Amino acid sequence: MRQFLSFFLVSLISFCTLSTCAESPTSSADYHEQLVLRPLPLSALLASFNFRSNITVSEFEAHNFRLFPRSLAQILQHAGTRELHLRFSSGRWDSESWGARPWDGAREGGTGVELWAWLEAETDDEADHKWLTLTNALSGLFCASLNFIDGTRTTRPVMSFQPEGDHPSLTEANTHLLFGVLPHEVVCTENLTPFLKLLPCKGKAGIASLLDGHKLFDSSWQSMAVDVRPICPAGGECVLQIELTIDMVLDIDRSKRPRDNPIPRPPPGHELPCNTSKPYHSHDTCFPADHEASQDWTLSQIFGKHMKGTCPLTDPAVPPVCLQVPNSRSVYVSDGVLEKKNLDRVSRCFEIRPDANFEMVLPSPSKDDQQATSLIVKPEAPLLYAERSFTGHGQERGGVQTILRNPSSDTEVEFIYMESLPWFMRIYLHTMSARIQGTKGDDNSVIQEVYYRPGVDRARGSQLEVRMRIPPASTVFLTYDFEKSILRYTEYPPDANRGFDVAAAVITILNKDEPKTGRFAAYNLRTTSLLCSLPTPDFSMPYNVIIFTSTAIALAFGGMFNIMVRRFVAADEGPELGLKLLKTKLKSRFAALFKKFGVGKAKGDQTKEAEPQPAVTE
């Protein structure tokens, strides 16, 4: 009986597994994952992990979450969130050498944590309440300090963001966009672990098995993104799409360092890659060769792990790993992996067996390759370069200067520049100017439109959105002044003299073909965050200050009222005071004592107490 039962159970399970695989075609198309590797100049490697799953809205509302992470879904439902974007980033994207950003910058945030969401609410207060719920819940889910996104760190952008998904049921009135940013947050392993738990294969199989905190947070630049948006295909049922993205730029030299000997040491002379074409090259003179020449690595070297097959739930039609190198370069892969070179001649993808480990080797190029073509795909130039820095010195006031460069020689670029600044930077908008390099004074054609909401002390940060247009091949300097305010001593963090982080400026380049493509932004970028040092009081002496100030006040108060209430008399008038009075009193007491005991005649008898002679003033 027992044997029969177990047989029955096994067959039932196998039937079920088979049937789900065979009978529901949507289940496999509902999830796919892909890793794209792109070697960059200067011995860097961009690895873009993308995980996407869909769920129909009706299933979502019926709490039938399937591939959609239940923990996140319940938070979204509870907080009335219609669309959510969450970013954890660190490092700096070096656009001068690495070119345009992955995903056109749409999947990255500024340093720290960024969160923006469209909430369904009737009033602003209700939206704030839901936002509080959302940030606190996400804070617990992602082990990040998102609960510190309070009123001073939240803004309501007006021009910079548009929903990415389709929201047929929502109107302007009941949708609220809130944007919060925590530039001080240090993104680390404790944020990666909950991130991986949102994936159907939990980092145990597929490309997610390559993700390791040691490598991810050792990278030159990394950004983890969570995007949830509803998508309504024409004629079909609306689906809720969650897209998890991790982009990282690995320094290959650093990644290849063995973990047991991580201290970098200069390589011995014979291993230095030298540029032999220089005339002064000799056995003891070396001009370092371009780093890209040495771009040779294996997948397990740079990620520190092997890739464990594929996730069984993924869509088999999407190749899990792609590599963007010219087709002329040879790449070695493990057995049973099918390499498919794409028609664009600069990328190839690999079909991987679900159960076998995957390994890939990019060997150093042969002599023929070096002469034939470029070794890596030349990065595309971005639409705009932006750099932001502080000007001025001292802890009283300063300025912010953003240098924006349009590299294109024939098209102008139109974008929205958004800053959300802490309230203790009091910005002077009347000093804002945009100057094109090489010209004098303001150029009125650059700034098209300004939206500004000044900050309120301890309640709200400043929000500045500027729509700008930069002519081709020109550089614009956007500057404004601000004043650093001094805070109450309890409002400083423990490391007060480190300074305060100022969130990255968000630049959204507008898409000129928006009506055709439906995309609002053609390209996004963030500047680096800034560190603003405020004047600090002396934290060690609150008691001393209270005492000193109170003393000064008491001196003035006492001095004034002393003069006011006391009467004037001549120096020799009025009652004796102080020592004289004491002396007289003592003398008379002693005299009385002597008299009582009859010890001779005391001289004290003659001492006469001075009669008070009141000198009338009024």
Partner 1 sequence: MDGKVTVGRTAGLYVGAAVLRLAIFTLLPGIPDLLTGRVEISTPVTSFKRLQEGLFLYNHNVSPYDGGVYHQAPLFLPLFALLPNASSYPIFTYLLYIAVDLLSAGALWKIADSGEAASSALFTSPRKERRWSGFVIAAVFLFNPFTVATCIGRSTSVFTTCAILHAIAKAVSGNPFGAMVAISFAGYLSLYPFLLVPPLVLLCYDKQRSGRATKSVIPFAATSVSVVAGVVGFLFGMSYLITGSWEFLPSTYGVQLTLSDLTPNVGLWWYFFIEMFDSFRSFFLGVFWLHLSCYVGGLTIRIRQQPLAVLTLLLGIFGIFKPYPSISDTSLFLALVPLYRHVFPLMRYTFVIAAVILYASFLGPAFYYLWIYAGSGNANFFYAITLVWNLGQSLLVCDLLFAVLRDEWEVERPEMVGKEIRQI
Query: Which residue, 419, 352, 320, 369, is CA-closest to 110?
Result: 419
**Residue in the structure block whose two tokens are 């909950």:** 194
Nearer to partner 1 by Cβ, of 102 and 461: the residue is 461
Nearer to partner 1 by Cβ, of 444 and 562: the residue is 562
466, containing H or E segment: strand 462-470
* 263 near partner 1, judged by CB under 8 A: no
- 345 to 384: interface string for partner 1, x by CB under 8 A: ----------------------------------------
Q: Cα dist. 453→158, 183, 202, 428, 461 in Å? A: 10, 20, 43, 12, 8
| Distance of closest approach, residue 183 Cβ to partner 1, in angstroms | 20
Cα 458 to Cα 461: distance, rounded to the nearest angstrom: 8
Q: Cα dist. 309→17, 295, 360, 609 in Å? A: 19, 25, 13, 111
Q: Write the Ramachandran bin of 442: left for phi over 0, alpha for psi from -120 to 50, otherwise beta.
A: beta
| Distance of closest approach, residue 611 Cβ to partner 1, in angstroms | 13
Give the type of residue at 464. Answer: L
Among 10, 16, 381, 560, binds partner 1 (CB under 8 A): 560
Among 371, 490, 495, 606, binds partner 1 (CB under 8 A): 490
* 616 near partner 1, judged by CB under 8 A: yes
Cα 474 to Cα 468: distance, rounded to the nearest angstrom: 13
| Distance of closest approach, residue 440 Cβ to partner 1, in angstroms | 14
Among 236, 562, 600, 611, binds partner 1 (CB under 8 A): 562
- 508 to 547: interface string for partner 1, x by CB under 8 A: ---------------------------xxxx--xx--xx-
Phi then psi dihedrals of residue 196, to 5 deg: -65, -30
| Distance of closest approach, residue 479 Cβ to partner 1, in angstroms | 14
Cα 124 to Cα 576: distance, rounded to the nearest angstrom: 74
Give buried/exposed letters for 103-139 (b at 16+ CB in 10 A, else e).
bbbbbbbbbbbbbbbbbbbeeeeebbebbbbbbebbb
The two three-digit tokens of residue 542, written as one number: 């609150």
Q: Write the Ramachandran bin of 538: left for phi over 0, alpha for psi from -120 to 50, otherwise beta.
A: beta
| Distance of closest approach, residue 420 Cβ to partner 1, in angstroms | 14
Among 62, 173, 563, 579, binds partner 1 (CB under 8 A): 563
- 388 to 407: interface string for partner 1, x by CB under 8 A: -----xxxxx----------
| Distance of closest approach, residue 418 Cβ to partner 1, in angstroms | 17
Nearer to partner 1 by Cβ, of 3 and 490: the residue is 490
Among 4, 280, 568, 597, binds partner 1 (CB under 8 A): 568
3-state secondary structure string, 97-151?
HHCCCHHHHCCCCCCEEEEEEEEECCCHHHHHHHHHHHHHHHHHHHCCCHHHCCH
- 410 to 429: interface string for partner 1, x by CB under 8 A: -------------x--x-xx
481, containing H or E segment: strand 474-484
Among 2, 270, 283, 488, binds partner 1 (CB under 8 A): 488
| Distance of closest approach, residue 544 Cβ to partner 1, in angstroms | 8
Nearer to partner 1 by Cβ, of 15 and 557: the residue is 557
Query: Which residue, 190, 253, 177, 264, is CA-closest to 220?
Result: 253
Among 62, 317, 571, 579, binds partner 1 (CB under 8 A): 571
* 580 near partner 1, judged by CB under 8 A: no
Instruction: List helix spans (H) across 404-508.
Output: none
Cα 379 to Cα 276: distance, rounded to the nearest angstrom: 26
Nearer to partner 1 by Cβ, of 112 and 398: the residue is 398
Residue 525's DSSP bridge partners are 507
User: Cβ(43)–Cβ(94) under 8 Å?
Assistant: no
Among 1, 317, 577, 579, binds partner 1 (CB under 8 A): 577
| Distance of closest approach, residue 610 Cβ to partner 1, in angstroms | 12
Nearer to partner 1 by Cβ, of 332 and 548: the residue is 548
584, containing H or E segment: helix 578-597
- Binding part of the chain for partner 1, among 90-98, 194-202, 362-370, 488-496 by CB under 8 A, reads 488-496
Nearer to partner 1 by Cβ, of 3 and 444: the residue is 444
- Max Cα–Cα distance, the chain, nearest Å: 133
Nearer to partner 1 by Cβ, of 10 and 615: the residue is 615
Nearer to partner 1 by Cβ, of 256 and 453: the residue is 453
Nearer to partner 1 by Cβ, of 345 and 567: the residue is 567
* 326 near partner 1, judged by CB under 8 A: no
Phi then psi dihedrals of residue 11, to 5 deg: -65, -35
Q: Which residues bind partner 1 (CB under 8 A)?
A: 393-397, 423, 426, 428-430, 450, 452-458, 462, 483, 485-490, 535-538, 541-542, 545-546, 548-549, 552-553, 555-557, 559-571, 574-575, 577, 615-617
